[in-house]
């Protein structure tokens, strides 16, 4: 059958669509049941050999399906429920700069607030590489500790929508914690 051919069920035109297999069912027949002597009482009271089957949902297939259906052109975009972390803290400043101690403190405070935190404290890569990696990894909330620190502001990005907002440093943990709870 091809797209546009009539459906054998209702005659409507068929359409081609992609699908993702995350589970499967196999009928194993009676080979193993016979070898093991597995019988049950039939409706007439006479023992019958069971027909065996197996089914499964693969964890790796489920993760792949989530990744494929929620990613965008920038990379992964994990739903918070399955994301490897709640918050990705990106230090956008040179090593030893004022952003580093602030970012490390914020990561600790976010962790203390019960959030799973990924801190990008790599010294050998530029902020641009860190931003690109944050998009690729797809953690739901990206906290950028950058130039705004001088003015007491931290940038918070929603990975899915791309929305950005500057939040006062003093309010950051509460704001991110409440976002993570929703």
In the chain, how many domains are there? 2
pLDDT-derived band of residue 1, with 50, 70 and 90 as boundaries? confident
Asked if residue 52 has pLDDT above 90, the reply is: yes
Contacts of 19 (CB under 8 A, 6+ apart): none
Q: Which residues contact 117 (CB under 8 A, 6 or more apart)?
A: 85, 86, 87, 88, 89, 107, 110, 111
The reported pLDDT for the residue numbered 20 is 84
Asked if 103 and 175 sit in the same domain, the reply is yes
* Same structural domain, 52 and 137: no
Range of the domain at 36: 23-57
How far apart CA 135 and CA 158 sit, in angstroms, is 10
Quick check: is 65 in a domain? Answer: no
Considering the domain architecture, whether residues 110 and 169 belong to the same structural domain is answered as: yes
Is the pLDDT at 95 greater than 80, yes or no?
Answer: yes
CB 169, CB 155: distance < 8 Å: no
CA atoms within 13 A on the CB side of 72: 12
Residue 107 and residue 37 share a domain: no
* Tokens linked to 6: 């009539």
Answer yes or no: do 99 and 31 share one domain. Answer: no
The DSSP output letter for 50 is P
Total number of residues shown for the chain? 182
- pLDDT score, position 178: 86
How many percent of the chain have pLDDT more than 70?
99
Measured CA angle at 30 (ends 29, 36), to 5 deg: 135
**pLDDT band, residue 12 (cuts 50/70/90):** very high
pLDDT (tens digit per residue) in 102-135: 999 999 999 999 999 999 999 999 999 999 999 9
Determine, yes or no, domain membership for 120.
Answer: yes
Q: What is the DSSP string of 90-150?
A: EE-S-TTSTHHHHHHHHHHHHHHTT--EEEE--SSS-HHHHHHHHHHHT-SEEEEESGGGG
């Amino acid at each position: 059958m091809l797209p546009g051919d009539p459906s054998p069920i209702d005659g409507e035109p068929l359409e081609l669509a992609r699908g993702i297999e995350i589970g499967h069912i196999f009928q194993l027949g009676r080979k193993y049941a016979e070898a093991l002597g597995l019988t049950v009482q039939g409706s007439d009271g006479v023992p019958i050999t069971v027909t065996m089957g197996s089914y499964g949902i693969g964890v790796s297939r489920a993760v792949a399906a989530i990744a494929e259906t929620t990613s965008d052109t920038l990379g992964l975009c994990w739903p918070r429920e399955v994301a490897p972390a709640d918050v990705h803290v990106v230090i956008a400043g040179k090593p030893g700069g004022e952003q580093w101690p602030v970012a490390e403190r914020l990561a600790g405070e976010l962790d203390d607030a019960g959030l799973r935190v990924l801190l990008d404290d790599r010294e050998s890569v530029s902020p641009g590489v860190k931003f690109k990696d944050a998009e690729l990894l797809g953690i739901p909330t990206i906290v950028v500790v950058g130039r705004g620190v001088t003015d007491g502001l931290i940038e918070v990005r929603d990975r899915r929508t791309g929305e950005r907002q500057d939040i006062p440093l003093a309010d950051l943990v509460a704001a991110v914690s409440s976002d993570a709870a929703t």
